[in-house]
Chains A and B, each alone.
Chain A
Amino acid sequence: MTIAEAASALRARKISSRELTDESLQSIARENPKINAFITITEEAARARADAMDAELARGHDRGPLHGLPIAHKDLMMTRGVRTTAGSKMFADFVPREDAVVVRKLNDAGAVMVGKTGLHELAYGITSNNPHFGAVRNPWDTERIPGGSSGGSGAAVAAGLVFLATGTDTGGSIRIPSSFCGTAGLKPTYERVSRRGVIPLSLTLDHIGPMTRTVRDCAAAFQAMAEEPSGYVPTHEDIQGVRIGLPSNYYFDRLDAEVATAMRSVVQAAAALGARIVEIRVPDMDAINTVGRVLLLVEAVSNLGPYLARRADFGSDVLALLDQGRLISGAEYADAQRVRRLQIREFSKLWTEVDCIFTPATPTPAPKIGQTTIEIAGAAEDVRLASTRFMRAINVLGIPSLAMPCGFTRSGLPIGLQILAPPRQEDALWRIGAEIEDALALTRRSPQFVVSGP
């Protein structure tokens, strides 16, 4: 069921918020032991909240499409009275006194929080293989990672446990799990969704966004989360004449063969809808990724440095990244921010040629849990660097990016498409993404919790 379908059923009195919430909680009780998507489940509070939302609707107070729908928050969003661990020992007992702005906005929109989702420790990594709270597992194959850092959110949405889960994205942390779990996920324009009340990793690269089953659900959620929302949720749109940029360099150089095939199919689908496919050359994306790594390494230490006296309480991968950040000089950081300005200016020239850009979201489908390298086009690559290769630069640029499913491998793993647009043009992503989603007709596929063989 989509957000629009549930909203319609609620208003037709075919179902209540309490029934939807009970169903969500029962699904979590049944499936969470298999995928470990949740760190905290707020069962009692969710039922009370659902009853209150039903009562409001009965009185004629309608808060909009999310009214009464069960959702989850990444356990990085501060939630008043509900512990917020950040997937870390440091915050294991942290109970905030205030809600994050995005939590408050979704409360105001009538959403019912059923729990907090698991993540990579401190949102600093892409596997969600958390040393303190256990590995989050991919619902499409529980021996594989869901991606991260918003892995619990991706897994919860893909498994149909909630309609919406919030995520954060510093170098792909919404879009990588969306790609690996087959969900729609938006990294908005920088600061389009407030970061206030979200435990920070990198002040100039962190973005907050929605993760849902469909593009239209994602649009509806974004409108409730955004500062200055446009209110636009696509119905059936015409994308004739829309100029879609297809990079002839970088994004197709090192790619899993099945991802390449899926990308060809999605480009054909867009052309069949009347879009104009325009071949473009993107600037040096590896250089932008380099700048992104320098910025992230330093800014993460700025945020988490005070905890470094407790070295034993960090997972080894996060500690290694924090140590790297401590060894980068202030001059290097300042220069990275200067290069960033030049890179943003250079990349923005593309928007005179095209309205959006299609790229693969990740070069491969989901790797296995514990896998550290992955073979792509005959060469071994570090899993973290490969998974962020098409993502990190977009955080440096601050532009909006939508990840959504564009196919499945022969073994049944989702394959992700990434659509990029100019700053503050999220509505273009909704319009184009929804039409592509309709054309590909993939959203009714559900994971079967298949455990892969040895």
Chain B
Amino acid sequence: MNRQPSQPETRPETVGGDNTSTTPVAAHTPRSALGRTGLSRGALNVAFQAGAFLVALVITTLVLLVAGAPPFAAYGEIVRGAVGSLQSLADVTVAWVPLVVCTFGLLVTFAAGLWNIGVEGQIMLGAVFATLVLRLLQDTNAPAWLALTLAISAAMVGGGLWAVLAGVLKAFGGVNEIFGGLGLNYVATALSLWLIFGPWKRPGVGSMSGTEPFPEQLWLPQFSGLRLSPWGLGLAVLAVVIVGVALSRTYFGLKLKAVGRNMRAAFLLGIPTWQYVLAAFLVCGLMAGLAGGIQVTAVYHRLIPSISSGYGFLGLLVAMLVRYRALWAAPVALFYAALNIGSIQLPIVLKLDSSLAGVLQGVLVLCVILAEGARQRLLHRPVSELPAPQEPGRGAPEHATPVEDAL
């Protein structure tokens, strides 16, 4: 996240966009004070992002001081908890798998200019579908590989359906995807709670610990002694690579970005826009469903109430932090996964709430957004690698096209 790709040649998406008429942004010389100091633009970007990171750390440290906690001990505990042992490194990877899968799914909806906040519910539906298939097959003599393959496929279908539902509400009902998605998240939570305490409850009484665990042959194989499954990891990497390539190297990705950048222009260019909107939701739902399926088959081996563990919302943060670019999404997701795992011990060791990780993660994104705004303001030119996703009920926000600079 420290380097911006140089502008014009890596921006095929201007094809369908609203920027075709302006001179490529790198061509003009900034006239503001900072521009004249001779600092290269790359160095400046690094400086702003490093600055944002530092400010985020300062704010989080202040929060710790307000709580009366020793900041260095807390940070030390997070680092130790994340990378202190082979077990914790494996746990970070286990957390990275659903996070990176969701993040890449969200890069697709962001490319289409959509705020798929329903991703949490899509993970849950994936988990519910996977659990359903495994429950149906566990008492038959279906081979384990078949049951697991079907379960993960069903998970993707479940996540995809839930996402397309939000997409249909958006495309044909005019229901903003933020509210549609949020509502569907709560519905998905209710559905999984109802299943856990109702039809799928453990023999005796249902509990928050989830459904009855599956027999061990229906687990995705794990590295011995660790919770990490090479199969889960492999599936995640495969899915991430496919989506990454589709976004950056195919006409599908190109047209998707055209839709996201300027839906009207894309439509006039002959791109079937609502189909692309639904396709973006579908792909993101497939990814979220996959994440849910992996959580069931490789991590928890049952359905639990909080199966999505907030990875959907966290994926939204990661996507915003990397400013919707795929290149940095995987490493930043790893960093965020490490923060999550590292903070687990905080309540036990320091009597602090583990939501500290969420504070740091969110404040970091906030600072990066504000630093980006400050940078654009100082350089007197807005950069939009990708359009900021659309505001509810509006087209893509008007970026201040610096006409006077481009002329």
Tell me whether A and B are bound partners. Answer: no
Binding site for B on A (CB under 8 A): none
